[in-house]
Structures are given as structure tokens and as C-alpha cells.
């Protein structure tokens, strides 16, 4: 894709590279960089990324226990038991849940037992209560059982020293239960990445101000704050910077002090009031990786590093800003948060579904085009995707859309009735 910029006496050609080429180069520069770790209580670790492997500190379960209510027996003693000729055993006592017992049996004896209780010594199985009949201190067994039936043996679930959960796992509710069950009270997790967002533009006012003619309420930072939170990050929303190179430069430098990533919203294009590129280049130890990509919308995304920290310039139009965030910022945050590199490479976190395109859509050749769509469930159970043709400045299309379909650079048209894959917001 080429863009021609005409001046008074010259014409500049800017060649935009494919999205995947730019993304790979940027992520290669980022390398294996992650945030540091912190130690937290296990019960507070939901959706955090494990920093260390979780290894079993002891066997689970820690003792042989019953899975049912019934009678603990030695299976050899009741091998011939059936309804016509029950085997009679002497009842030696009762094992109750949560109460230690020193009971032991022979093959001619049994112990009454409840679910979860400790098996007596020499017992290797449990007969269901409904398959037995208690009479004084004797019990009639009407059904044989196999060795190990209706019990869980010590360490059958997991053995001491065994790998339980590998590091870099995003912790789920069931993981919390398992980790606590193994005796862990605290674990180390990756810190939440801290992202500063710098809104820019002389036309913008905060939500607390009433816009005058020619002014707009700044919205991008609020959208970005929500997206960052969804990805497990923490955002710092900076004051709006009017169109000033010096003010923007100062805000970037200040933001780098307390952030892992800095996002500049707006000013990433090539206009006379677009200062993002010049501001970044004027800061020592800055490195521009890409300025513009062959995509639509968001072609004017700027990707850089300052002192090794990611600094990204997003376009100011709401749709372009969101598209650029999902394409470039999201992989960065996924990587920094401690996820495996393959996670963002394979887009494992993207939720997709198939739909039928409702209308033809076209795209310029050589451009990766992200088209917003609204999904409708038809009476026949099929999902139809209705494309939005609104401009990238139209916030309403971003609100109404459920996701996007992507046209690759070599695809210039899709037709109504085509099956498409929708990446949900």
C-alpha cells in the first residue's frame, strides 16, 4: 500500500508494510520482556498469571477415604456374597468424617463408614449401605465388591512432588480450589501491567466540561481504560494534552516513570498538528519501529520504544483507536502480563464465530481491512453479519457492532451469502 503526500515542490511516497510484518518486528524487539512478580493470597488470584510452577506439597487425598456411605470391608472376605447367600461380618465400630480412627479389620470384619471418612486398616473397598443389612453388631453383605471399589486411595489424585499447575497459566476458579487444597496460602503471580494513556487534541475537553462549538468530549481514554482492564492491566489516564510538542514530550517522559507502557491517543498521523512522532523522536533512547501499516482503519499507528518500554501512538478516531489497540496493544499487554509467547501469536484469547455475510463488502488491494459487523440471529438458527460502512470517526458504529471481519490484503471483495469468521469485541 502506498500513500502520496504532496507539498509545494515535492511529493513523498510512504510505503506501508503488512500488519503481520510490523507486529512481528515489534514483538521481536520486545522479546521475552514481562512485568515483575508479586506475592498475593491465593483467594485473590483469579485471572492472574502464575509466576511459578505449583507443585504438590503432599499427597492428595492425604489418606485412604470412602466415596460413599456404607461398610468398609476387605474384598476377599465377601467375594462370594450375593442376595441369595449374604456374607455376615462382625461390625468393629464406625468411621466418621473428620474424626481420626485407629480401627482395623480382618476379612471377616467390617466398619460402618460415611462419605469422606478414613478407611480402617486392612480395608480395601466399601459396600454401599443399600447392599447391606445391620443386625446388632453384625452386618449382612448382599453384594461383592472389587478391590478399590467406592474408595479413593492416598495420593490417587496427586502425589507429593508432582507438577500440579505449570507457570504462566491464567488462574481459574477451579485452580484456586486446587492450589488451596494443596496447602498454599500465598503464591507469586505476574504484576498487572501499568499502562498510561495520554489523550491529545486541542479540540478535546474532559467529561466534566461542557464542550463549546468546535469541541468534543474526549472518549478514547475511557474506551482504552476498559480494554486495558479486560486484559488484566491497570490504566493511568493522564490529563488531556493540547496540540503542543513540548507538552506532549513532557507528558510522555513523566508517564514513563510510573508505567510499563505508554499510549498516546491521537496525533499519530502526518498533519501539521500531529506531534506524536516528533515528541517520541526528541526523547533520548527512543526507537521508532513502524509508523503506519497497511491496514484499514488505523493505518497511522505508531510503534516505538523509549528506554526499552513500549510507546504506541494510536489514531484519534474512535474506530481506528479500537482497531489499533486490538491489533497491536493487545499482544503487547498479553506478553507483558506473563502469558506464553504462543498465546498472542495464535490469538488464543480471541473469541470467534461463523456467520453469513448479509451484504457485499469491498476493500482496496494490499490492505488488511477490519470491517465492523452487527450480528443477527435468524429464525432458522443461522447468524447473519451486517457490515457497517460508517467512517472511522463514527463512535456509534463501534457501539452498535458486535465484532469485525477481516479482509486479507489479497482479498478485495466478499459477497452476500459468504461464510465469514467474526472476531467478537
Which residue bears the cell 489499533? 324
DSSP track, 28-71: HHHTT----EEEEEGGG-TTPBBSS-EE-SS-BSSS-EESSSEE
Residue environment code for 284-312, b if the CB has 16+ CB neighbours within 10 A, otherwise e:
eeeeebbbbbbbbbbbbbbbbbbeebbbb
Q: Which domains does the chain have, with CATH numbers?
A: 17-35+192-343 (3.40.980.10), 37-58+159-190 (3.90.105.10), 65-152 (2.170.190.11), 352-424 (2.40.340.10)
Amino acid 4: pLDDT: 34
Grid cell locating 147 = 478391590
Which one, of 425, 410, 353, 394, lies nearest residue 20 by Cα? 410
The DSSP bridge partners found for residue 188 are 39
Strand partners, 125: 73
Question: Could you give the C-alpha distances from 225 to 199, 214, 263, in angstroms and in order?
Answer: 12, 25, 11
Cα–Cα dist 299/367, whole Å: 9
Residue 255: its H or E element? helix 245-257
Number of residues that make up the chain: 425
Measured distance CA(24)–CA(37) in Å, rounded: 26
CB atoms within 10 A of CB 279: 27
pLDDT at res. 339: 86
* Coil vs helix vs strand at 8: coil
Task: Provide the residue-wise pLDDT of the chain in tens; the chain has 425 residues.
Answer: 443 333 333 444 567 899 999 999 999 999 999 999 999 999 999 999 999 999 999 999 999 999 999 999 999 999 999 999 999 999 999 999 999 999 999 999 999 999 999 999 999 999 999 999 999 999 999 999 999 999 999 999 999 999 999 999 999 999 999 999 999 999 999 999 999 999 999 999 999 999 999 999 999 999 999 999 999 999 999 999 999 999 999 999 999 999 999 999 999 988 888 899 999 999 999 999 999 999 999 999 999 999 999 999 999 999 999 999 999 999 999 999 998 877 766 666 678 899 999 999 999 999 999 999 999 998 888 999 999 876 666 778 888 899 999 999 999 999 999 999 999 98
What local confidence, expressed as pLDDT, does residue 298 receive?
92
Q: Count of alpha carbons within 13 Å of 264, Cβ hemisphere only?
A: 37
Alpha-carbon span 266 to 315, nearest angstrom: 5
Q: CB-based burial of residue 340 (10 Å sphere; 0-12 exposed, 13-18 middle, 19+ buried)?
A: middle
Q: Residue 239: helix, strand or coil by DSSP?
A: coil
Bridge partners of 65?
Answer: 118, 152
**If we measure between CA atoms, which residue out of 329, 316, 193, 310 comes closest to residue 262?**
310
| Locus of grid cell 479540540 | 203
Amino acid at each position: 500500500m502506498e500513500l502520496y503526500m504532496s507539498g509545494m515542490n515535492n511529493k513523498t511516497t510512504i510505503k506501508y508494510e503488512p500488519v503481520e510484518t510490523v507486529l512481528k518486528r515489534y514483538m521481536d524487539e520486545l522479546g521475552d520482556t514481562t512485568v515483575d512478580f508479586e506475592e498475593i493470597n491465593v483467594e485473590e488470584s483469579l485471572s492472574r498469571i502464575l509466576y511459578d510452577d505449583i507443585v504438590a506439597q503432599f499427597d492428595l487425598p492425604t489418606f485412604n477415604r470412602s466415596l460413599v456411605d456404607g461398610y468398609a470391608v476387605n474384598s476377599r472376605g465377601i467375594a462370594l456374597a450375593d442376595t441369595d447367600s449374604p456374607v455376615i461380618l462382625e461390625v468393629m465400630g464406625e468411621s466418621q468424617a473428620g474424626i481420626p480412627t485407629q480401627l482395623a479389620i480382618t476379612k471377616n470384619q467390617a466398619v460402618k463408614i460415611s462419605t469422606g471418612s478414613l478407611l480402617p486398616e486392612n480395608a480395601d473397598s466399601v459396600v454401599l449401605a443399600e447392599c447391606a443389612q445391620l443386625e446388632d453388631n453384625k452386618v449382612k453383605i448382599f453384594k461383592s465388591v472389587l478391590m478399590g471399589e467406592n474408595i479413593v486411595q492416598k495420593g490417587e489424585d496427586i502425589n507429593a512432588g508432582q507438577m500440579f499447575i505449570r507457570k504462566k497459566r491464567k488462574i481459574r476458579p477451579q485452580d484456586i480450589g486446587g492450589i488451596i487444597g494443596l496447602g498454599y496460602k500465598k503464591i507469586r503471580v505476574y504484576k498487572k501491567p501499568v499502562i498510561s494513556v495520554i489523550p491529545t487534541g486541542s479540540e478535546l475537553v474532559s467529561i466534566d466540561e461542557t464542550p463549546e462549538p468546535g469541541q468534543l468530549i474526549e472518549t478514547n481514554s475511557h474506551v482504552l481504560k476498559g480494554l486495558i482492564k479486560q486484559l488484566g492491566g491497570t490504566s493511568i489516564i493522564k490529563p488531556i494534552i493540547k496540540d503542543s510538542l513540548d507538552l506532549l514530550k513532557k507528558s510522555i517522559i513523566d508517564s514513563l516513570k510510573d508505567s510499563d507502557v505508554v499510549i498516546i491517543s491521537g496525533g499519530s498521523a502526518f498533519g501539521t498538528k500531529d506531534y506524536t512522532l516528533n515528541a517520541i523522536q526528541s526523547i533520548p533512547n527512543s526507537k521508532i519501529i513502524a509508523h503506519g501499516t497497511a491496514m484499514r482503519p488505523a493505518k497511522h499507528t505508531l510503534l516505538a520504544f523509549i528506554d526499552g518500554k513500549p510507546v504506541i501512538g494510536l489514531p484519534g478516531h474512535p474506530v481506528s483507536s479500537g482497531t489499533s489497540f486490538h491489533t497491536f496493544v493487545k499482544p503487547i499487554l498479553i506478553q507483558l502480563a506473563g502469558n506464553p509467547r504462543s498465546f498472542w501469536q495464535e490469538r488464543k484469547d480471541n473469541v470467534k464465530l461463523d456467520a453469513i455475510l448479509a451484504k457485499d463488502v469491498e476493500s482496496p488491494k494490499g490492505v488488511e481491512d477490519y470491517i465492523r459487523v452487527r450480528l443477527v440471529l435468524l429464525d432458522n438458527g443461522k447468524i447473519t453479519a451486517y457490515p457497517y460502512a460508517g467512517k472511522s470517526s463514527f463512535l456509534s458504529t463501534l457501539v452498535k457492532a458486535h465484532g469485525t471481519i477481516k479482509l486479507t490484503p489479497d482479498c478485495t471483495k466478499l459477497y452476500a451469502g459468504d461464510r465469514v469468521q467474526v472476531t467478537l469485541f
